[in-house]
């Protein structure tokens, strides 16, 4: 109320001031618009004309400003309504995909892709509608068209790689994932998918580099480190003979007990005449983690010519790993192959007979031992226990 009153008083004062100027300045005055164009008017009318012209200019400026603001608001409102309609179409399309109405869903998604505000997610949604129907070929075509419009976007490349993998084109998938990883090198999902693709292609050297990056991204994940060991071992298999020994050493640097690398390195050392170094390498690996492949390599090196040394090594290993079933089973097999059936039986007695992971093999070996002794009754009992253990293991799995 006060603001309106003050505005009214200001207007009255302005009118009074103009009226006063008109009253006191009624004498004629020459007004020139150009050198050859002049007009003689009362001064008061000139003042009123100047004020009127100023008011008109101000009014025009105000109308232009308000019109610009109104136009901007109209554009904002139109964009908001357009965005709401686009969101509604996408939501309806996703519901239709879930309902199995893929044709209707694609009609809505195609409008979304062709609209001015389309983004990468719209292209992926359209491709996913084909994927949901099992049509990987058309999904791939949609994504490849999307790459032309949006460039090498990691989301598009990841979806394209999935389609290529489903179609059996691992080479194209690897190419797409390479570009995606270049754009987003810290993505664990992209790196894992690229690793798996390269492994399927048996590109071991490239897979090793990708797996090394995964280990750097996930330094506390033992599975990624184990995968690096396995992939590096495969990569060593494609090396030239001159580089193979160094590659195997790099594998053992990651996991000194990795049985395939230890056995292969020992074989190379033995062929080079470094027999003691080969035995020492295998013994260190077996001390860390007894593995049948490591133990078999030890048997191959020592069983014929250095049996006492081999038995001494097994004594140390069994004392170090008293509850290791793999070691006990292998030792029992070795003793039976050497004709030391009593020692083999004692080793079998140390195995867990209640259904452990080596119970089936242990009972079969015990049955073989009884057959050699012509004790068929106990041999059949051992085979029966092996069958029961096998059935229990199968039912649990």
Give tens-digit pLDDT for 36-59: 777 676 766 666 776 777 777 777
Instruction: Spell 309-325 as b/e; 16+ CB within 10 A means b.
Output: ebbebbeebbeebeebb
Is the CB of residue 91 less than 8 Å from the CB of residue 98? Answer: no
Question: Could you read off the pLDDT of 218-233 as tens digits, one per residue?
Answer: 998 999 999 999 999 8
Read off the pLDDT of each residue in 252-260 and give the average, rounded to a whole number: 88
**pLDDT above 90 coverage of the chain, percent:** 21
Question: Could you read off the pLDDT of 311-360 as tens digits, one per residue?
Answer: 899 889 988 988 788 888 888 888 888 888 888 778 877 775 545 667 77
Read off the pLDDT of each residue in 62-79 and give the average, rounded to a whole number: 79
Is the CB of residue 331 less than 8 Å from the CB of residue 324? Answer: no
Q: Is 367 exposed, middle or buried (0-12, 13-18, 19+ CB in 10 A)?
A: buried
Strands 37-42 and 28-34: antiparallel
Q: Which two tokens stand for residue 57?
A: 């200019």
Q: Which of these ranges, 63-72, 109-118, 186-195, 371-380, has the smallest mean pLDDT?
A: 109-118
pLDDT at 234 over 70: yes
Question: Could you read off the pLDDT of 93-119 as tens digits, one per residue?
Answer: 676 666 677 677 777 777 766 666 677
More confident residue, 119 or 235: 235
CA separation for the pair 291, 256 (Å, rounded): 12
pLDDT at 76 over 80: no
- CA 365 to chain CA centroid, Å, is 46
Q: Which of these ranges, 69-73, 294-298, 322-326, 356-360, has the smallest mean pLDDT?
A: 356-360
pLDDT at 87 over 80: no
Instruction: Spell 87-110 as b/e; 16+ CB within 10 A means b.
Output: eebbeebbebbeeeebeebbebbe
Question: Could you read off the pLDDT of 4-39 as tens digits, one per residue?
Answer: 787 767 766 776 676 666 666 666 766 666 667 776
DSSP structure class, residue 324 = -
pLDDT at 354: 46
| CATH code assigned to 78-201 | 1.25.40.10
Please report the sign of the dihedral spanned by the C-alpha atoms of residue 226, residue 227, residue 231, residue 234: positive
| CATH code assigned to 240-321 | 1.25.40
Are the folds of 78-201 and 240-321 the same? yes
Q: What is the mean pLDDT of the chain?
A: 81
Verdict on whether the full-model pTM lies above 0.85? no
* Beta carbons within 8 Å of 282's beta carbon, 6+ residues apart: 262, 263, 266, 294, 297, 298, 301
- CA 345 to chain CA centroid, Å, is 50
- Residue found by looking up tokens 């080969």 in the block: 278
- Structural domain boundaries of the chain? 13-29+40-52, 78-201, 205-238, 240-321
- Residue 307 pLDDT level (bands cut at 50, 70, 90): confident
pLDDT at 393 over 80: no
pLDDT at 82 over 70: no
Most confident of 68-82, 195-209, 290-304: 195-209
Is the CB of residue 347 less than 8 Å from the CB of residue 328? Answer: yes
Q: What are phi and psi of 276, to 5 degrees?
A: -65, -40
pLDDT at 162: 93
CA separation (Å) from 330 to 218, 263, 326, 344, 365?
36, 16, 6, 9, 10
């Amino acid at each position: 109320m006060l603001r309106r009153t003050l505005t009214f008083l200001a207007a009255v004062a302005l009118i009074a001031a103009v009226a006063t100027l008109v009253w006191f300045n009624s004498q004629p005055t020459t007004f020139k618009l150009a050198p050859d164009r002049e007009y003689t008017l009362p001064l008061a009318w000139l003042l009123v004309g100047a004020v009127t012209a100023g008011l008109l200019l101000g009014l025009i400026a105000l109308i232009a400003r308000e019109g610009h603001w109104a136009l901007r608001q109209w554009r904002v409102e139109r964009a908001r309504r357009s965005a709401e309609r686009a969101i509604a179409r996408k939501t309806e399309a996703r519901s239709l995909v879930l309902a199995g109405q893929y044709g209707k869903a694609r009609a809505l998604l195609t409008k979304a892709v062709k609209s001015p505000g389309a983004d990468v997610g719209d292209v992926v949604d359209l491709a996913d509608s084909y994927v949901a129907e099992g049509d990987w070929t058309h999904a791939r075509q949609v994504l490849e068209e999307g790459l032309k419009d949006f460039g090498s976007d990691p989301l598009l490349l990841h979806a394209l790689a999935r389609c290529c993998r489903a179609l059996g084109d691992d080479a194209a998938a690897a190419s797409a994932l390479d570009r995606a990883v270049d754009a987003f090198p810290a993505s664990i999902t992209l790196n894992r998918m690229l690793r798996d693709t390269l492994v399927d292609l048996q590109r071991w050297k490239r897979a090793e580099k990708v797996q090394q990056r995964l280990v750097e991204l996930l330094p506390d994940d033992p599975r990624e480190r184990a995968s690096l060991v396995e992939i590096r071992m495969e990569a060593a298999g494609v090396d030239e003979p001159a580089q193979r020994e160094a590659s195997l050493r790099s594998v053992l640097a990651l996991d000194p007990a990795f049985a395939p690398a230890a056995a292969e390195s020992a074989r190379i050392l033995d062929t080079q005449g470094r027999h003691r170094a080969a035995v020492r390498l295998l013994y260190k690996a077996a001390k860390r983690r007894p593995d049948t492949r490591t133990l078999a390599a030890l048997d191959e090196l020592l069983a014929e010519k250095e049996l006492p040394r081999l038995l001494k090594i097994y004594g140390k290993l069994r004392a170090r790993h008293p509850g290791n079933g793999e070691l006990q089973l292998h030792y029992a097999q070795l003793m039976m192959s050497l004709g030391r059936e009593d020692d083999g039986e004692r080793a079998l007695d140390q195995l867990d007979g209640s259904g452990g992971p080596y119970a089936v093999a242990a009972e079969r070996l015990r049955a073989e031992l009884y057959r050699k002794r012509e004790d068929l009754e106990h041999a059949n009992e051992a085979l029966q226990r092996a069958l029961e253990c096998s059935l229990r293991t199968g039912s649990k799995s």
